[in-house]
Amino acid sequence: MAAGNWTRVSQFILMSFSSLPTEIQSLLFLTFLIIYLVTLTGNSLIILVTLADPMLHSPMYFFLRNLSFLEIGFNLVIVPKMLGTLLAQDTTISFLGCAIQMYFFFFFGVAECFLLATMAYDRYVAICSPLHYPVIMNERTRAKLAAASWFPGFPVASVQTTWLFSFPFCDNKVNHFFCDSPPVLRLVCADTALFEVYAIVGTILVVMIPCLLILCSYTRITAAILKIPSARGKRKAFSTCSSHLLVVSLFYVSSSLTYFRPKSNNSPESKKLLSLSYTVVTPMLNPIIYSLRNNEVKNALGRTFHKALAPRNHNL
């Protein structure tokens, strides 16, 4: 596109679900609001319970607490603006607001990839070296692993967001419900070939490196579980990994379908639906999965509610 065609953009318009009838948008608002409240409540409960209950002060729940904190941040970046768009039809977002939203979307997304890999390594140590687990995963080590999980998000988000928003824009209509890179990139009036190569390579590395670490961990875990003589021991060992495996599957399947599908099969509307799965639905399911499939968390929730209600019942 010729350089003379671009104008300075001060705000963007999120097309979101504007093509749908008003009644459908109202139904979507109610649905997403309920999901949003469940997400905040569920992840907040996980954080509070794993902090309050001494039985959950193990490395596994330390990383689960990090995941819940991450999911809350991920939701806060995207869902409130989406709800405002559906309710008040306020589809505008400032240039700076769009850049900030994209920055934190990348930051939390990259951090989640590496945090899931760290959680897989934690399960590997717990199952393959149970006697040395408390020594290997001491407080200092788990803090370093958590920091290493969060850190990659900073350079990836900084480079990608700064580079993309330094381009001139020909249009300001973003065909998405948040400022994701591909729909914003389509508005650029400049040669973006180098940026696209960087974005593809960066995305593959960010997804593949943690994914390979997870696969390596679970290969060793599977080999260790198969060596356990009793069926009960095998079930118990596998049960400690099942929740994490389910969360990993949900996250990687939905994000991979969104970003690695052929362009010919990747219409804007289908991408919106797939994006909803890992930006809205998965953060809600994570605390439910860990609560329903983990007896320690269920028991801790019961003890916490009992302690919270006990003084009130006593006063009555």
Is pLDDT of 34 > 50? yes
Q: Average model confidence (pLDDT) for the chain?
A: 86
Which pLDDT score, from 0 to 100, does residue 2 have? 43
| Domains with residue ranges and CATH for the chain | 94-294 (1.20.1070.10)
Is pLDDT of 1 > 50? no
Q: Which residues have CB under 8 Å from 314's CB, separation 6+?
A: none
Taking the model in full, what pTM does it have?
0.88
Dihedral (C-alpha) 271, 116, 294, 34: value to the nearest 10 degrees?
Answer: -30
Say how many CA atoms lie within 13 Å of 281 toward its Cβ: 13
Is pLDDT of 263 > 90? no
At 3, is the pLDDT very low, low, confident or very high (cuts 50, 70, 90)?
Answer: very low
* Chain segment 122-149, per-residue pLDDT in tens: 999 999 998 999 999 999 999 999 999 9
Number of Cβ within 10 Å of residue 253's Cβ equals 14
Which whole number is the average pLDDT over 4-15? 75
Burial class (CB in 10 A: 0-12, 13-18, 19+), 304: middle
Which whole number is the average pLDDT over 270-296? 79
* Chain segment 101-117, per-residue pLDDT in tens: 999 999 999 999 999 99
Which whole number is the average pLDDT over 28-43? 93
